[in-house]
Amino acid sequence: MAAVNIPTHQDPITTTRQWLDAAAEGEAFNPTATALATIGSDGAPSVRMVLLKDVDSAGFTFYTNLRSRKARELESDPRAALCLYWKSLRRQIRIEGATSLVSAQEADAYFATRERGSQIGAWASQQSEILEVRADLEAAVAQTEGRFAGGEVPRPDFWSGYRLVPTLIEFWWELPSRLHERVEFSRETDGTWDHRLLQP
């Protein structure tokens, strides 16, 4: 049986960042892509892919239109789950916790780093709403480009970020014969992390 590969002597945020660094080198496209699961008003789960933009001791941060379905669901129930999976590295991380909006200053700072086309798109797209024809979106983009022609594109007040504060982080490492390695970390009330091995 293979030796333990998942470190249990350090906090799981550090391990997550190390795995993200490895993914940045080993994954060809969007190594920070993560599945985000939320809870609908009817109690049903809903999942989609988002890009993870920051991981630190405060939590896991992603950005979105605040009028989108995911944002409406998070406003109703802030509990959420993330799943990062890197096929080429044979690794997965699951995260569970509650979300809250980042500060306006944080959202402004991140929005300013986005390429201009994405900034325009944030204004033009009525995310999650019905689109009758693609031409309507293209027209909205053109109108927005004209509106901000020659100037900076500010962050829309309906666009911001969420930070998921983890209460559970599970690392999964693929091993032969489906005898995978799994280590689950859970946050204690004092903020420290406890860990346990899980059966594959």
Active site residue 178: yes
Q: What distance in Å separates the CA atoms of residue 180 and residue 2, rounded to the nearest whole number?
A: 10
What span, in angstroms and rounded, lies between the C-alpha atoms of 51 and 70? 13
> How do beta strands 91-101 and 159-173 pair?
antiparallel
Distance CA 189, CA 117 (A): 43
Return d(Cα 21, Cα 113) in angstroms, integer: 20
DSSP assignment string, 166-179: EEEEEEEE--GGG-
With beta carbons less than 8 A apart as the criterion, state whether 129 and 150 touch. no
Indicate which residue of 178, 182, 187, 196 is catalytic. Answer: 178
Structure tokens at 27: 């994954």
CA angle at 142 for the pair 138 and 146, rounded to the nearest 5°: 170
Residues involved in catalysis: 178
